[in-house]
């Protein structure tokens, strides 16, 4: 055998040994790809801590985590799932996207993995599990159960001469006028009305607060009825009068939180996570002054005995159908939604488990938010769950923007939106 031939054989053998070692190592370690959100709910650092704990408990599983904003999340999910669904194993999915993703066949059906005990152990079984249900099948675990809460600056209210938060929107307008006159704050209320999903959440709270509804009994859009018109007119007039901050038209939830926390607003509606951060001296200039109360309704609705109305917007974890490690993915899902983990981070996101709400240690730690959740939850309204929700959402966002920028008058904006949604509904029949 020639010298070069011997060298070649040696090198080949070394290479093969190296390759097999690598293959063995790779085979024994499972990699899960996780995608979550970096706004509302648990912070990114908190989620990363949970993931590291999970990896310690399961040394053969490695988790690659990605965190994006809510709006980017949908687009990233869709591009990943359309390409075979192997890019992500565990994904955070909004309740409004579930119909779209499940009908396209991209999510793993986990109905058989959810036990009846798990179902019974959650808060408000029916509403909670609806987050991850499509056509009677379950596609994940509920996780981020959130709704818009009403926040107010107690000190500003006191300076205006009030010791109770407003119960109706009309009361709020009155209080705002007094605050403006006394020079307490220039624009009393800040909203998230940017051309994104957040505007729809605010609109749903106001829509039901003014006696309107999203759809009628036949499932047709009905938000252009009297209640819807009152809600949209209230929005437009509040900007015109200077009660609502004009920057609301381009603001998202974080902008609302910053405005409230810097003392530039007396009232705001936002997700639960704001309470802790707005009262944290490291994050807020008005720490200790921000309180919560029920989201107001109109006087007309209040007189009917309905004391509040808000938007219920929840998210859950789902597993991609193309995932190569569905069992490991399910373990990660269960860990994230386990009572131990959820109880620990209850400051930014309330647990989905009934027992957590009667855990004295937890109630002592989060007295305000836990009580507020239980008070507000019965008045939450869910959005429509349809496969064409993205188009529905865009139509509604545009409707709000056109009315708020004065491009169309409220009734016309509402009617045009309803008509456009009906056109899409026909395509899906």
Partner 1 sequence: MSGPSGLPNTGPLGSIGLGAKRGLSESRLALLLILPSLVLIGGIVLYPILNNLVISFFDYNLTIPWARPFIGLRNYVEVLTDREFLASVGRAAYFTVVSVSLELVLGLLIALFLNVDFRGRAFLKTMIILPWAVPTVVNAIMWKWIYDANYGALNGLLMQLGMIDQYQAWLAKPFTAMNLVILADVWHQTPFVVFILLATLSTIPESLYEAARVDGAGSLQAFRKITLPFLRPAFLIVLVIRTMEAFRVFDIIYVMTAGGPANGTQVATYYTYVETFRYLNMGKGAAQSFIISALIMLVSIVYIRLLKQDDTAY
Least distance to partner 1 from the beta carbon of 304, Å?
A: 34
State the Cα angle at 175 between 171 and 176, rounded to 5°. 115
- CB closer to partner 1, 325 vs 391: 391
Measured distance CA(40)–CA(355) in Å, rounded = 23
Residues that contact partner 1, how many (by CB under 8 A):
37
Q: Report the 3 state secondary structure along 394-422.
A: HHHHHHHHHHHCCCCCHHHHHHHHHHHHH
Judged by CB under 8 A, the residue of 161, 407, 419, 422 near partner 1 is 407
The interface with partner 1 within residues 70-99 (CB under 8 A) comprises 71, 74-75, 78-79, 82
**Is residue 387 at the binding interface for partner 1, with CB under 8 A as the rule?**
yes
By the rule CB under 8 A, 196 interacts with partner 1 = yes
- CB of 259 or CB of 356, closer to partner 1: 259
In the complex, minimum distance from the CB of residue 405 to partner 1, in angstroms, rounded to a whole number:
5
Q: Segment near partner 1 (CB under 8 A), from 22-30, 253-261, 286-294, 327-335?
A: 253-261
CB contact at 8 A, 260 and 278: yes
**Nearer Cβ to partner 1 (258/344):** 258
Residue 40: strand, helix, or coil: coil
CB 135 within 8 A of CB 244: no
Three-class HEC string of 354-370: HHHHHCHHHHHHCHHHH
- Contact flag: residue 247 with partner 1 (CB under 8 A): yes
- List residues bridging with 381 in a β-sheet: 311
Q: CA 147 to CA 124: how far, in whole Å?
A: 14
Helix (H) or strand (E) holding 47: helix 44-57
Asked if 409 interacts with partner 1 (CB under 8 A), we say no
Q: Which of residues 17-56 bind partner 1 (CB under 8 A)?
A: none
Figure out which of the listed residues 105, 161, 219, 367 binds partner 1, where binding follows CB under 8 A: 105
Residue among 104, 158, 368, 423 that touches partner 1 (CB under 8 A):
104
Tell me the C-alpha distance between 415 and 86, whole Å.
42
Residues that bind partner 1 (CB under 8 A): 71, 74-75, 78-79, 82, 100, 103-105, 186, 194-196, 245-247, 249-251, 255, 258-259, 262, 264, 387-388, 390-391, 394, 397-398, 401-402, 404-405, 407
């Amino acid at each position: 055998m020639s010298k070069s031939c011997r060298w070649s054989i040696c090198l080949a053998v070394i290479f093969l040994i190296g390759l097999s070692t690598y293959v063995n190592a790779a085979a024994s370690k499972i990699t899960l790809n996780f995608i979550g959100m970096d706004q509302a709910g648990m912070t990114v650092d908190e989620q990363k801590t949970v993931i590291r704990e999970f990896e310690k408990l399961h040394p053969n599983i490695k988790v690659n985590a990605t965190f994006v904003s809510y709006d980017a999340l949908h687009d990233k999910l869709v591009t990943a799932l359309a390409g075979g669904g192997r890019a992500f194993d565990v994904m955070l999915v909004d309740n409004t996207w579930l119909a779209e993703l499940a009908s396209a066949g991209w999510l793993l059906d986990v109905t058989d993995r959810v036990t009846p005990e798990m179902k019974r152990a959650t808060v408000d079984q029916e509403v909670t599990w609806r987050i991850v249900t499509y056509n009677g099948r379950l596609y994940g675990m509920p996780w981020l159960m959130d709704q818009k809460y009403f926040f107010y600056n107690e000190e500003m209210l006191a300076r205006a001469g009030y010791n109770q938060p407003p119960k109706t929107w009309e009361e709020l307008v009155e209080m705002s006028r007094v605050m403006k006159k006394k020079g307490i704050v220039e624009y009393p209320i800040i909203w998230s009305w940017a051309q994104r999903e957040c505007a729809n959440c605010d609109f749903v709270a106001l829509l039901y607060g003014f006696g309107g509804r999203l759809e009628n009994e036949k499932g047709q859009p009905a938000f252009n009825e009297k209640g819807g018109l009152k809600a949209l007119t209230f929005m437009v007039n509040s900007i015109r009068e200077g009660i609502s901050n004009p920057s609301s038209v381009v603001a998202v939830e974080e902008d609302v939180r910053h405005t409230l926390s810097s003392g530039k607003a007396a009232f705001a509606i936002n997700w639960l996570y704001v309470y802790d951060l707005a009262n944290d001296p490291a994050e807020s200039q008005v720490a200790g002054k921000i309180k919560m109360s029920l989201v107001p309704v109109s006087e007309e609705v209040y007189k009917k005995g309905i004391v509040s109305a808000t938007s219920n917007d929840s998210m859950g974890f789902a597993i991609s159908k193309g995932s190569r490690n569905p069992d490991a993915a399910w373990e990660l899902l269960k860990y994230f939604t386990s009572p131990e983990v959820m109880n620990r981070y209850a400051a930014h996101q309330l647990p989905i488990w009934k027992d957590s709400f009667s855990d004295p240690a937890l109630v002592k730690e989060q007295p305000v938010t836990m009580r507020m959740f239980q008070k507000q939850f019965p008045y939450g309204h869910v959005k429509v769950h349809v496969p064409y929700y993205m188009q529905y959402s865009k139509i509604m966002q545009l409707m709000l923007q056109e009315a708020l920028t004065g491009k169309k008058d409220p009734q016309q904006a509402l009617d045009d939106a309803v008509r456009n949604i009906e056109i899409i509904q026909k395509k899906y029949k």
